[in-house]
Amino acid sequence: MDLPPWLASAARPVTAAGAVVLGPDGGVLLVEPTYKPTWEVPGGLVEPGESPRAACRREIAEELGLAPGERGVRVGRLLCLDWTDRSPGAPALRLLYDGGTLDDLSVLQLPAAELASARFASLDVVDELCGDSLSRRVRAAVAALGSGGLAEIDDDAGAVA
């Protein structure tokens, strides 16, 4: 199907959605991928025809073995929107949702082929284990949880609003 020129020239970002799940002491739930050195929050890429919220629900179920709403884990309000045009291959739009709380890591059913482990981490440890971009997103999302706001990161401008 041929698109009109004004639509054909529009940005088509790779979109990812994740959840900031907090532990009993306020630490952020991180998962350790088997396929790369840095840790992540539960989440992943949005598939064609899928909304970011639906992708986050699907990823929580796949990665944690929990249905949203089970054990206090949820896909709540949007906390952080992060745009960058510096990703390899395509612009990226990355969203973080309020993932609720989880009291016990032992209830997780991690897919062994994808995730080696999970842990709760303070923001300083998030800085150490995650890449700079995710660390900045997580910090902005946690601040938005506290303020009731929405954080917007424009990576190209180096700004957090």
Nearest to 45 by CA among 29, 57, 59: 59
Average pLDDT, the chain: 91
State pLDDT tens for residues 69-117: 889 999 999 999 999 886 667 789 999 999 999 999 999 999 999 999 9
State pLDDT tens for residues 23-43: 999 999 999 999 999 999 999
Is the full-model pTM beyond 0.75? yes
Contact 141, 133 (CB under 8 A): no
Please tell me the distance from the alpha carbon of residue 22 to that of residue 19, in angstroms, as a whole number: 9
All domains of the chain in start order, with CATH: 5-160 (3.90.79.10)
